[in-house]
Structure 1
Amino acid sequence: MNLLLIRLIIFAVLFFAGLKLYRMYREWKLERQELLEDDERQEGNQMVRCTWCKVHVPENEALREKEEWFCCSAHRDKYLEEQKSE
Protein backbone atom coordinates (compact mmCIF):
# COMPACT_ATOMS: atom_id res chain seq x y z
CA MET A 1 0.00 0.00 0.00
CA ASN A 2 2.87 2.39 0.79
CA LEU A 3 4.43 1.74 -2.61
CA LEU A 4 1.16 2.62 -4.38
CA LEU A 5 0.87 5.88 -2.42
CA ILE A 6 4.48 6.81 -3.23
CA ARG A 7 3.88 6.15 -6.94
CA LEU A 8 0.73 8.28 -6.86
CA ILE A 9 2.60 11.17 -5.20
CA ILE A 10 5.46 10.92 -7.71
CA PHE A 11 2.97 10.86 -10.60
CA ALA A 12 1.15 13.91 -9.21
CA VAL A 13 4.41 15.84 -8.76
CA LEU A 14 5.53 14.99 -12.30
CA PHE A 15 2.12 15.93 -13.70
CA PHE A 16 2.10 19.35 -12.00
CA ALA A 17 5.74 19.98 -12.97
CA GLY A 18 4.89 19.17 -16.60
CA LEU A 19 1.85 21.41 -16.46
CA LYS A 20 3.95 24.26 -15.05
CA LEU A 21 6.58 23.80 -17.79
CA TYR A 22 3.88 23.79 -20.48
CA ARG A 23 2.41 27.04 -19.15
CA MET A 24 5.84 28.66 -19.05
CA TYR A 25 6.51 27.54 -22.64
CA ARG A 26 3.16 28.85 -23.85
CA GLU A 27 3.74 32.23 -22.16
CA TRP A 28 7.25 32.46 -23.65
CA LYS A 29 5.88 31.63 -27.09
CA LEU A 30 3.17 34.34 -26.86
CA GLU A 31 5.71 36.95 -25.73
CA ARG A 32 8.01 36.03 -28.61
CA GLN A 33 5.13 36.24 -31.08
CA GLU A 34 4.20 39.72 -29.79
CA LEU A 35 7.80 40.89 -30.17
CA LEU A 36 7.91 39.62 -33.75
CA GLU A 37 4.63 41.37 -34.57
CA ASP A 38 5.96 44.62 -33.09
CA ASP A 39 9.10 44.32 -35.22
CA GLU A 40 7.00 43.71 -38.34
CA ARG A 41 4.92 46.81 -37.60
CA GLN A 42 8.02 48.96 -37.22
CA GLU A 43 9.71 47.67 -40.37
CA GLY A 44 8.73 49.22 -43.68
CA ASN A 45 7.01 52.24 -42.18
CA GLN A 46 8.96 54.81 -44.11
CA MET A 47 7.71 58.34 -43.60
CA VAL A 48 6.47 60.37 -46.56
CA ARG A 49 5.45 64.03 -46.71
CA CYS A 50 2.00 65.22 -47.69
CA THR A 51 2.27 67.40 -50.78
CA TRP A 52 -0.50 69.71 -49.59
CA CYS A 53 0.22 70.35 -45.88
CA LYS A 54 3.84 69.07 -45.63
CA VAL A 55 3.02 66.79 -42.68
CA HIS A 56 4.94 63.51 -42.49
CA VAL A 57 2.87 60.31 -42.27
CA PRO A 58 3.81 56.61 -42.46
CA GLU A 59 3.85 55.33 -46.01
CA ASN A 60 1.34 52.58 -45.28
CA GLU A 61 -1.20 55.20 -44.08
CA ALA A 62 -0.58 57.74 -46.86
CA LEU A 63 -2.43 58.08 -50.14
CA ARG A 64 -0.56 58.24 -53.43
CA GLU A 65 -1.72 59.99 -56.57
CA LYS A 66 0.42 60.80 -59.63
CA GLU A 67 3.75 60.30 -57.84
CA GLU A 68 2.62 62.57 -54.97
CA TRP A 69 1.85 61.60 -51.36
CA PHE A 70 -1.08 62.86 -49.28
CA CYS A 71 -2.11 62.45 -45.66
CA CYS A 72 -5.87 62.32 -46.43
CA SER A 73 -8.27 62.28 -49.33
CA ALA A 74 -9.34 65.90 -48.71
CA HIS A 75 -5.79 67.17 -49.26
CA ARG A 76 -5.44 64.98 -52.35
CA ASP A 77 -8.64 66.39 -53.80
CA LYS A 78 -7.62 69.99 -53.05
CA TYR A 79 -4.24 69.45 -54.68
CA LEU A 80 -5.77 67.87 -57.80
CA GLU A 81 -8.29 70.71 -58.14
CA GLU A 82 -5.48 73.24 -57.81
CA GLN A 83 -3.50 71.42 -60.51
CA LYS A 84 -6.49 71.43 -62.89
CA SER A 85 -7.00 75.17 -62.51
CA GLU A 86 -3.36 75.94 -63.33
Structure 2
Amino acid sequence: MGLIRLLIVLALVYTAWVLWRRWQAAQTSRRNSAPPPRAPRMVRCAQCQLHLPENLALRQDDKWYCCSEHRDVEQRH
Protein backbone atom coordinates (compact mmCIF):
# COMPACT_ATOMS: atom_id res chain seq x y z
CA MET A 1 0.00 0.00 0.00
CA GLY A 2 2.88 2.37 0.68
CA LEU A 3 4.11 2.25 -2.92
CA ILE A 4 0.65 3.04 -4.33
CA ARG A 5 0.28 6.04 -2.03
CA LEU A 6 3.73 7.26 -3.05
CA LEU A 7 2.84 6.98 -6.76
CA ILE A 8 -0.45 8.85 -6.21
CA VAL A 9 1.33 11.65 -4.33
CA LEU A 10 3.99 11.90 -7.06
CA ALA A 11 1.29 12.04 -9.75
CA LEU A 12 -0.52 14.83 -7.85
CA VAL A 13 2.69 16.79 -7.37
CA TYR A 14 3.58 16.42 -11.05
CA THR A 15 0.07 17.53 -12.12
CA ALA A 16 0.24 20.55 -9.83
CA TRP A 17 3.68 21.45 -11.18
CA VAL A 18 2.50 21.21 -14.82
CA LEU A 19 -0.59 23.35 -14.11
CA TRP A 20 1.50 25.93 -12.28
CA ARG A 21 3.94 26.19 -15.21
CA ARG A 22 1.08 26.65 -17.69
CA TRP A 23 -0.41 29.37 -15.49
CA GLN A 24 2.98 31.15 -15.28
CA ALA A 25 3.39 30.98 -19.07
CA ALA A 26 -0.08 32.44 -19.58
CA GLN A 27 0.68 35.30 -17.16
CA THR A 28 3.95 36.06 -18.94
CA SER A 29 2.31 36.12 -22.38
CA ARG A 30 -0.43 38.48 -21.11
CA ARG A 31 2.16 40.88 -19.74
CA ASN A 32 4.20 40.83 -22.96
CA SER A 33 1.31 41.21 -25.38
CA ALA A 34 0.87 44.65 -26.90
CA PRO A 35 -2.46 46.44 -26.68
CA PRO A 36 -4.55 46.33 -29.85
CA PRO A 37 -3.86 49.21 -32.23
CA ARG A 38 -6.33 52.06 -32.10
CA ALA A 39 -8.31 52.97 -35.19
CA PRO A 40 -7.33 56.40 -36.57
CA ARG A 41 -9.71 59.29 -36.02
CA MET A 42 -11.81 59.95 -39.13
CA VAL A 43 -12.57 63.47 -40.42
CA ARG A 44 -14.78 64.71 -43.25
CA CYS A 45 -13.63 66.87 -46.18
CA ALA A 46 -15.42 70.22 -46.05
CA GLN A 47 -15.70 70.26 -49.86
CA CYS A 48 -16.71 66.74 -50.96
CA GLN A 49 -17.77 65.19 -47.61
CA LEU A 50 -15.34 62.28 -48.03
CA HIS A 51 -14.31 60.62 -44.76
CA LEU A 52 -10.59 59.95 -44.37
CA PRO A 53 -8.09 59.37 -41.54
CA GLU A 54 -7.02 62.52 -39.76
CA ASN A 55 -3.33 61.83 -40.44
CA LEU A 56 -4.01 61.94 -44.22
CA ALA A 57 -6.24 65.04 -44.18
CA LEU A 58 -5.25 68.69 -44.60
CA ARG A 59 -6.47 71.17 -41.99
CA GLN A 60 -7.22 74.83 -42.62
CA ASP A 61 -9.17 77.13 -40.25
CA ASP A 62 -10.73 74.27 -38.26
CA LYS A 63 -11.90 72.55 -41.46
CA TRP A 64 -10.55 69.33 -42.95
CA TYR A 65 -9.84 68.64 -46.63
CA CYS A 66 -8.93 65.49 -48.54
CA CYS A 67 -6.58 67.29 -50.96
CA SER A 68 -5.02 70.67 -51.61
CA GLU A 69 -7.37 71.32 -54.55
CA HIS A 70 -10.44 71.13 -52.32
CA ARG A 71 -8.75 73.31 -49.72
CA ASP A 72 -7.96 75.93 -52.38
CA VAL A 73 -11.54 75.86 -53.75
CA GLU A 74 -12.90 76.61 -50.28
CA GLN A 75 -10.38 79.44 -49.82
CA ARG A 76 -11.58 81.17 -53.01
CA HIS A 77 -15.19 81.28 -51.80
TM-score range, shorter chain: 0.5 to 0.7
Contact 1:62–1:70 (Cα < 8 Å) also in 2? no
Structure 1, unpaired ranges of 5+: 42-59
Give the aligned partner of residue 30 of structure 1: 30
Using the size of structure 1 for normalisation, the TM-score is 0.49
What percentage of residue pairs aligned between the two structures are identical?
14
Q: 1:62 aligns with which of 21, 41, 55?
A: 55
Question: Where in structure 1 do 4 or more consecutive aligned residues deviate above 6 Å?
Answer: none
Greater helix share, 1 or 2?
A: 1
Structure 2, unpaired ranges of 5+: 38-52, 66-70
Equivalence map 1:43-82=2 (5 Å) = 61-64=54-57, 69-70=58-59, 75-76=63-64, 82=74
Q: How many residues align?
A: 56
Using the size of structure 2 for normalisation, the TM-score is 0.54
